[in-house]
A = this chain, B = another copy of it.
Amino acid sequence: MISKNQVKYIRQLEQKKYRKREGLFVAEGTKVVGDLLKHHQPKALYATDEWQAHTGISCTTVTEEELQRISFQQHPQQVMGLFPIPSQTAVISFSGTLVLALDGVQDPGNLGTIIRIADWFGIATIVCSEDTADAWNPKVIQATMGSIARVNIVYTNLLDTIDALPPDYPIYGTLLDGENIYTQPLSAEGLIIMGNEGNGISEAVRAKVNRRLLIPDFHQGETADSLNVAIATAITCSEFRRRQA
C-alpha cells in the first residue's frame, strides 16, 4: 500500500533539485535494483509480492497499478528502490589507475552508456565536470543497466582536480589534432577526458591535456564525421585495456 504523499514524494525525485535536497535517487527493475542491493543500502524499497517471494527480500508491497503510479518507466518491472546518492567528498584514487573524466556530456543516454563502459573495462571512478548531466537522473540510472552500483561518480571542478595532480600525471584527451591512439604509448595510470557532444573538450580543460590522442577514421576520400561520445569512450577504453591485457 502506498499513499498519495508517497507517490508525490517519489515522483518529485525526477527533478535534480529534489534529489539533491533529499540526497536520494530512484532505481527501477530487477536488474538495476538487484545490482544496487549488493553494494548499497536502500532508503526505501517498493516491490510486488512476486519479487519479494523470488528474492526473499521483504519490503513495502505494491501492486502493479501502484508501481505504475510511482514509476518513471513505461513498463515498470516489479521493483523500485530509493537509494542515497553517494558522498561527493570521497578521496579519489588516481595513483596507478585509469580514471575517466567527462567534460560537459549532456545526454542522459550517453552518460548511462559511458558508466556501463567504465564498469566493463574496470574503471572504478568517473570524474564529471559540474555541467555534465546528472548521473542520478532516472534516465541515466536505467541506461547504466546496473553499472551505477559499481562505478563511483564524483562531480567536481575538473580544472581544480587536474591542477591537484602530480605535474607529470598523464592527462589524455581525444582531439582532432591528436596522435593515432593505436600506435601511441598508453599508460596504466592516467586521466582520460571525454568532451561534450557538440563541442568536445572545453578550451580550458583542453589546455591541460598532455597526451593528445586521435581515433583515426577509415573513410575513403570523404570528410570524416564525428563519433558519438559514448562510442569514442568505448574505443578509447578498449585500446587502453588491450595494452594491459
Contacts and interface: CB of A to CB of B under 8 A. Distances in A.
A150 B146 CA distance: 36
Interface of A is mostly: loop
Given A228-B113, A245-B180, A120 B217 contact: yes
Interface stretch (A46-54, A154-162, A168-176, A232-240): A232-240
A189 to B, nearest CB: 15
Interface of A: 109, 113, 116-117, 119-122, 145-147, 150, 180, 182-183, 215-220, 222, 224-228, 230-231, 234-235, 238-239, 241-242, 245
Contacts of A113: 228, 231
A216 B199 CA distance: 32
A121 B238 contact: no
Contact of A219 (B122, B216, B230): B122
Contacts of A117: 227, 231
A120 B224 contact: yes
